[in-house]
Structure 1
Amino acid sequence: MATTNLNIRTDKTIKEQADQIYSELGLSMTAAINMFLRATIRTNGIPFSLTLNEPNQTTIEAIEEGRRIARDPNVKGYHSIDELKAALDV
């Protein structure tokens, strides 16, 4: 198998964090990058979903519930964390 060099630039912290994870998995950075490249070939594209930061249905429902609660004058509100803790008996 003929090999070639691949030079990439990345943030130092990102590289160090990824290298730590790969090391714990028993992989070198080279092996991990090769796995990514092979997965790219196998899937004929990026081997994971690329999406915009749009919330899923569960998150949308939670946001809507929060908005309903915020508009409801019958829901008890608190003006400080101490007031909330006292209400929770914490």
Structure 2
Amino acid sequence: MAYCTVSARMDTEVKAEFFRVCEELGLSPSTAINMFAKAMIRKNGFPFVLQVEKPSQETMKAIEEAIEEKDLVGTFSTADDVMDSLNA
């Protein structure tokens, strides 16, 4: 089997984290990239779902209210305080 070199540009921090994760998994970066390429071939596309997660309307409303500082209840000291407020 003949081999070739593939070159890719990436952010320095991304590369460092990628190499770190590969090392933790006991893989070389080259092996990890080859695994990804083979998975793409098997799936005839990305081997994972590519999607943009969109917040629900209720979440968007809460975000907008927080930005506008509307209907803010206040700060809480404990998780129990939060739950008491939510259940009130």
Q: Same fold (TM over 0.5)?
A: yes
| Aligned length in residues | 72
Q: 2:59 matched to 1:63?
A: yes
In structure 2, runs of 5+ residues without a counterpart are 82-88
Q: Secondary structure at the match of 1:21?
A: helix
Distance 1:76 1:14, change over 3 A: closer
Q: Which runs of 4+ in 1 moved over 3 A?
A: none
Offset at residue 76 of structure 1 (A)? 8.7
Q: Which stretches in structure 1 are left out of the alignment for 5+ residues?
A: none
* Bigger CA radius of gyration: 1
Structure 1 pair 26–76 and aligned structure 2 pair: CA distance change class (3 A): closer
Superposition TM-score, scaled by structure 2 size? 0.66
Structure 2 residue aligned with 1:24: 24
CA RMSD of aligned residues (A): 2.7
Normalising by structure 1, we get a TM-score of 0.65
Where in structure 2 are the equivalents of 1:1-90 lying within 5 Å? 1-55=1-55, 60=56, 63=59, 77-78=73-74, 81=75, 84-85=76-77, 88=81
> Share of identical aligned residues, percent?
35
